[in-house]
């Protein structure tokens, strides 16, 4: 047991002082003996619990050489961050350290924190006040005992006879001799003690005087209670029960002693026999008068540190604290990344900023904010991110809306013009129904911008998924139907095999096909909506952005548009095939331009859409731009003709059969009129040069022209090939293949008559139809005959009991007349069927019969369900001999076996050639 606190409490006080000043990184020195070693070990353990790190450590003996103390200081100086030195040392060890500071010129470099071995001893700092300035030391709390001074000052050798050692103390204290102490009457060497000497001279009460008094009181209280318990409360003094004396029992009584002492202090002990710790905090300061002294600046009692005075640090400005840390505290939003292991891990670190989306949970941990949240400025909490979506006032939205409105205006203007001029040839020839469908699709495309830009909701998201695919389907399904029709017409004109009239060529059929294609797109979009219902959702394109958008997946976008792209691809292929067809002022060519441009837009759209964050704007621009391209290439040329070139808006230039016949027939005419030496007997349909397309049959030197060609009525020129009727004041030139039905049949009959006349004038000349000239004449003749007849007779009717209809002529000329018809039934090895034999004539029968100078300008021909060798569903090959004999009257010398097949294409326009 002891009444002085354990050194463990000193270590706790020192750790508390260090922590109160945020000194987390210190050095340690101890006296190399029991007191210092046990004390520094206690400090080390407590410091580790308090996250205080010890950088450099050293120990030294109090009586070591100066070089040893210099080495200790140099070792401590190697760590510049540790400015505080915890010194669990005896007084002389501290003095020697201060001397080494002076020798090494390190004054002000360290701040010493000493234990009670230093306390407030003046002999430790005597002569080294400047080096010790600002140091902090611990003194055990021991209050001044004034009663002891009064008692002590009243003692003298004559009234304190019960203390046998007091006389010796007096003699040593005042350097005198008490009477009667001289031996053998020898003379006195010292003055005699009178007892009146003053004990107050050079008196200073022992700082631990109170502990002596506490110890005496503790013994007294413990013995008193033991006597009371053992001897009973009625006895006085000792009793036999106390003997033999029980030391263990007496210790228990001492451990349970508790009594007040001094200014609120209580003397008591723990299980180990240690009293509670209480210490005074002393700071060695320079006083205003220039002197140095210890100043009481704080207390530590029962684990509580209280600093009540202002500390003075070595060579620091007033109020400026000294720093002793390995690493400074990190700024807000930075965590500690420890660089070393061991004890220093708690004190030495590098400050590393947290990520942009992280907050600082503690000094060493950052935590990412959840989706939709973002750290505040200090990164101490996650705040909710405002949800963003496309606003009507955004720059991109304004551009998209402006572009869409421009498309609305342009499309509306085109629609109004088409409605106003609905019955004009330009509008009629462009397939009005499909044109209006295309205009409706373009209008829908421009309208797509608004639900796409609107705030995402279930309704707007559904429209955003449906409208783009539907609008594109309306546009490109209609364009595909138109280009397919042109392609089929063109393909039929180039085939060597005769075909029936193509199906689904009427406007109603075209609309029905378009609606079926649109229905497929609607089905695909509806299926995708059923699989992935449209709804608004929050998207996080980056950690600090939250966007309200529709829950559209790549499949949901590509699946409906894939069918549209398929339509575009087909349109492009058909446009490429029909690019040279000049129908409706090169409409196929302009469709090709539109499709090429659209393909470029769509190919660029896919990577831009999926690689950009602005998917909404990308979709709006792509949809609107696709519609604008279609409007520019398909409708602007027609609007140009309607509004700026009205003289070109006539039926002669826009009739489908005529315009395509002019294109195809000109090549036929060029082919049959080519006069190359050594040409074989097969007359083929080939592509002609631009110059040859403008030539007419009448211009060919090989054509025999009847004199009646020159006898044309006044003001007209419709009887000669290559000329035309008045269009306003302008005469339009046309090739033979572009003649009207009446003109072609008249040309045929006159050419036929001319050929017969030539045969009659030269009867002796052998008729060798194998010569090149004769073959060309026959080819010219047969081509014109077939074209005229099949243009004049409506071959759509397959019923034999139905009279063929003859087209009326608008010129007022005489119409071809049917003068004879009969039905025959023939059967042979190759063909069988019923035939209607018809004879037609230019004018009436009487005129035909009165013509004596030439063969009658009438001949029979067959119309009906002629059966031939089946090639496929749309092609039939007829025997040239059987078919041609019925309507082409040849000279008797003609050899029909030289001609194998007569091939024709049964469209509104017709081109014939004979192949040997």
Instruction: Look at residue 289 in the predicted model and tell me its pLDDT.
Output: 92
Measured CA to CA, the distance from residue 414 to residue 705 in angstroms comes to 49
Instruction: Look at residue 594 in the predicted model and tell me its pLDDT.
Output: 86
Contacts of 806 (CB under 8 A, 6+ apart): 792, 793, 815, 816, 818, 840
Measured CA to CA, the distance from residue 175 to residue 166 in angstroms comes to 14
Instruction: Look at residue 769 in the predicted model and tell me its pLDDT.
Output: 41
Instruction: Look at residue 746 in the predicted model and tell me its pLDDT.
Output: 55
Contacts of 852 (CB under 8 A, 6+ apart): none
Give the residue ranges of the chain where pLDDT is below 50: 496-498, 585, 655-742, 745, 756, 759, 763-784, 787-916
Contacts of 269 (CB under 8 A, 6+ apart): 1, 254, 255, 257, 275
Instruction: Look at residue 188 in the predicted model and tell me its pLDDT.
Output: 62
Strand duo 111-114 + 84-88: pairing: parallel
- Contact in structure between 81 and 54 (CB atoms under 8 Å): no
How does pLDDT run across 581-626, given as a tens digit for each residue? 655 546 777 888 888 888 888 888 878 877 776 778 888 888 899 9
How does pLDDT run across 87-115, given as a tens digit for each residue? 999 999 999 999 999 999 999 899 999 99
Q: Which residues of 52-89 are buried (b: 16+ CB within 10 A; e: fewer)?
A: bbbbbebbbbbebeeeebbebbeebeeeebbbbbbbbb
- For residue 436, the surrounding DSSP H or E stretch is helix 432-453
Domains of the chain from N-terminus onward: 7-141+277-307 (3.40.50.2300), 208-275 (no CATH), 334-384 (2.10.50.30), 395-654 (1.20.1070.10), 656-802+814-915 (no CATH)
Neighbours of 847 (CB within 10 A): 15
Counting Cα atoms < 13 Å in the Cβ hemisphere of 77 gives 15
Measured CA to CA, the distance from residue 901 to residue 884 in angstroms comes to 9
Say how far residue 780 (Cα) sits from the centre of its chain: 70
Alpha helical stretches, state H, 50-161: 66-77, 91-103, 122-125, 129-132, 146-153
Q: Which residues of 748-784 are buried (b: 16+ CB within 10 A; e: fewer)?
A: bbbbbbbbbeebeeeeeeebebeeeeebbbbbbbbbb
Strand duo 334-338 + 349-353: pairing: antiparallel
């Amino acid at each position: 047991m002891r009444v002085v606190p354990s050194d463990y409490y000193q270590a706790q006080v020192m750790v508390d002082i260090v922590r109160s000043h945020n000194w987390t990184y210190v050095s340690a020195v101890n006296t190399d003996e029991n007191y210092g070693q046990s004390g520094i070990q206690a400090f080390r353990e407590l410091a580790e619990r308090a996250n205080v790190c010890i950088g450099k450590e050293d120990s030294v003996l109090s009586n070591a050489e100066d070089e040893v103390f210099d080495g200790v200081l140099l070792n401590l100086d190697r760590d510049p961050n540790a400015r505080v030195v915890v010194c669990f040392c005896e007084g002389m060890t501290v003095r020697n350290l201060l001397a080494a500071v002076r020798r090494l010129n390190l004054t002000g470099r360290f701040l010493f924190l000493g234990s009670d071995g230093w306390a407030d001893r003046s002999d430790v700092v005597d002569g080294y006040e400047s080096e010790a300035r600002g140091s902090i030391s611990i003194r055990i709390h021991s209050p001044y005992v004034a009663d002891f001074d009064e008692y002590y000052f009243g003692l003298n050798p004559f009234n304190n006879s019960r203390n046998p050692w007091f006389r010796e103390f007096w003699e040593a204290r005042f350097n005198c001799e008490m009477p009667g102490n001289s031996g053998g009457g020898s003379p006195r060497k010292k003055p005699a003690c009178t007892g009146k000497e003053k004990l107050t001279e050079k008196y200073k009460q022992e700082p631990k005087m109170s502990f002596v008094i506490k110890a005496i009181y503790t013994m007294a209280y413990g013995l008193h209670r033991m006597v009371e318990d053992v001897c009973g409360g009625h006895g006085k003094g000792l009793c036999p029960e106390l003997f033999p004396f029980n030391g263990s029992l007496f210790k228990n009584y001492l451990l349970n002693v508790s009594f007040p002492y001094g200014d609120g202090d209580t003397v008591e002990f723990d299980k180990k026999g240690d009293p509670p710790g209480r210490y005074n905090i002393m700071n060695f300061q320079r006083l205003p008068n220039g002197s140095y002294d210890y100043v009481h600046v704080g207390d530590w009692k029962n684990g509580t540190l209280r600093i009540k005075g202002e500390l003075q640090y070595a060579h620091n400005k007033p109020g400026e604290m000294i720093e002793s840390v390995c690493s400074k505290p990190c700024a807000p939003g930075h965590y500690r990344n420890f660089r070393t292991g061991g004890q220093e891990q708690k004190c030495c670190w590098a400050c590393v900023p947290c990520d942009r989306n992280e907050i600082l949970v503690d000094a060493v941990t950052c935590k990412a904010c959840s989706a939709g949240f973002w750290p505040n400025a200090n990164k101490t909490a996650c705040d909710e991110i405002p949800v963003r979506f496309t606003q009507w006032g955004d720059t991109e939205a304004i551009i998209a809306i402006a572009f869409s409105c421009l498309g609305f205006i342009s499309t509306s203007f085109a629609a109004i013009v088409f409605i106003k001029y609905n019955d004009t040839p330009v509008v009629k020839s462009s397939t009005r129904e499909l044109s209006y469908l295309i205009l409706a699709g373009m209008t829908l495309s421009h309208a797509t911008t608004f639900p796409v830009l609107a705030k995402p909701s279930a309704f707007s998201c559904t429209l955003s998924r449906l409208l783009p695919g539907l609008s594109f389907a309306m546009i490109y399904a209609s364009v595909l139907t138109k280009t397919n029709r042109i392609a089929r017409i063109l393909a039929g004109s180039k085939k060597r095999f005769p075909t029936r009239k193509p199906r689904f060529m009427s406007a109603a059929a075209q609309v029905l096909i378009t609606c079926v294609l649109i229905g497929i797109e609607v089905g695909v979009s509806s299926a995708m909506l059923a699989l992935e219902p449209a709804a608004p959702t929050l998207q996080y394109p980056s950690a600090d952005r939250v966007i309200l958008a529709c829950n559209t997946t790549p499949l949901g976008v590509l699946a409906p548009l894939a069918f549209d792209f398929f339509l575009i691809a087909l349109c492009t292929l058909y446009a490429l095939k029909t690019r040279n067809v000049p129908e409706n002022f090169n409409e196929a060519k302009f469709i090709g331009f539109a499709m090429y441009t659209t393909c470029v837009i769509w190919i660029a759209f896919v990577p831009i859409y999926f690689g950009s964050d602005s998917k909404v704007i990308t979709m709006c621009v792509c949809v609107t731009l696709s519609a604008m391209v279609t409007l520019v290439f398909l409708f602007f040329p027609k609007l140009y003709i309607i509004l700026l070139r009205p003289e070109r808006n006539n039926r002669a230039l826009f009739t489908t059969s005529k315009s395509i016949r002019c294109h195809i027939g000109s090549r036929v005419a060029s082919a049959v009129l080519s006069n190359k030496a050594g040409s074989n007997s097969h007359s083929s349909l080939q592509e002609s040069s631009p110059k040859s397309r403008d030539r007419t049959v009448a211009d060919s030197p090989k054509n025999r022209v009847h004199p009646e060609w020159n006898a044309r009525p006044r003001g007209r020129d419709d009887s000669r090939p290559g000329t035309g009727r008045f269009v306003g004041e302008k005469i339009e030139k046309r090739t033979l293949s572009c003649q009207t039905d009446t003109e072609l049949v008249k040309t045929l009959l006159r050419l036929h008559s001319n050929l017969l006349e030539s045969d009659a004038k030269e009867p002796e000349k052998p008729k060798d139809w194998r010569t090149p000239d004769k073959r060309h004449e026959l080819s010219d003749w047969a081509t014109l005959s077939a074209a005229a007849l099949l243009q004049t007779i409506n071959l759509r009717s397959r019923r034999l009991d139905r009279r063929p209809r003859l087209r009326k002529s608008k010129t007022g000329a005489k119409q071809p007349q049917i003068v004879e018809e009969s039905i025959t039934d023939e059967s042979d090895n190759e063909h069988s069927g019923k035939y209607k034999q018809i004879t037609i004539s230019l004018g009436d029968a009487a005129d035909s019969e009165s013509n004596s100078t030439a063969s009658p300008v009438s001949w029979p021909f067959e119309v009906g369900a002629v059966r031939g060798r089946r090639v496929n569903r749309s092609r039939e090959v007829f025997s040239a001999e059987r078919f041609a004999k019925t309507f082409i009257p040849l000279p008797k010398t003609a050899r029909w076996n030289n001609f194998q097949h007569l091939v024709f294409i049964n469209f509104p326009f017709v081109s014939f050639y004979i192949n040997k």
